[in-house]
Amino acid sequence: MMVNWCRMRLHTVGVTIGWIGIMVSILSIILLSLILVLVDEVAMFVVPDLARKLPLLSFSGFRTGLVIMCGVWLGFSIINLLASAMLLMGTVQENHLMLVPWLINSGAALVINIIRHPFTWFAFADEVGPCIVFSVVTLILQFYIYFGIYSLYKHIKAKKDQQRQFIQPDVAYFGGD
C-alpha cells in the first residue's frame, strides 16, 4: 500500500480528491440540468451537423437519446456528489467506512471506462492516435487515484483496528470444572 501519493500525505489526497469531486459534481449537475431544460435547442443545434454523417439520424431519436443519456449521467453525478462528500468527511473524521461509497463509485466508473474506451477509439477512427494516448493517460491517472484512496482506506482501517486492540482488555478464562 502507498504511504504517500505524489509526495502528499494520504489524508491530504483524500481531502483534495473529495473537494475536487464535489466541485466537479456540482458543475456537472448544473450543466446537465441546463442541457435537459434546453434539450430542444441543443438538438436543433447538433442534429444538422450529425445528419450529414449519419443519414438515419432523426431529431426525435437524437432528442430522446440525449434526454436518456443526460438523465443517467445526472443520476451518476448526484451519486458522485454524495460519495465525494462522504470521502471528505470520512477522511477528516478518520472513518474508513465513509470511504467505501467513493471506492465503489470510482471502481464502477473505472470498469465502465475500461469497457468504453475501445468504443471511443472506434468512433474517432480518424484521430485514433491522440485518442488512444489520451484514453490511456486518463485510465492510468484514474487507477492511480483509486489506488491512493484505497491505500488511505486501508491506512485508516489499520489505525482503527490498532486503537481497538488497546481499548479492549484481554479476558482470561478462569473456569474450573
pLDDT of residue 170: 59
Name the one residue in this structure whose C-alpha cell is 474508513.
96
Q: What percent of the chain has pLDDT over 90?
A: 57
Q: How many angstroms from the chain centroid is the CA of residue 94?
A: 21
Question: Is the CB of residue 21 less than 8 Å from the CB of residue 91?
Answer: no
**177 pLDDT tier (thresholds 50, 70, 90):** low
Question: Is the CB of residue 103 less than 8 Å from the CB of residue 150?
Answer: yes
Q: Which of 8-12, 78-82, 120-124 has the lowest mean pLDDT?
A: 120-124
pLDDT of residue 169: 61
Q: Where are the domains of the chain?
A: 4-162
Among 62, 63, 43, residue whose Cα is nearest residue 54: 62
**124 pLDDT tier (thresholds 50, 70, 90):** low
Q: Is the pLDDT of residue 57 over 90?
A: no
**173 pLDDT tier (thresholds 50, 70, 90):** low
Q: Is the pLDDT of residue 51 over 80?
A: no
Q: Is the pLDDT of residue 30 over 90?
A: yes
Neighbours of 84 (CB within 10 A): 24
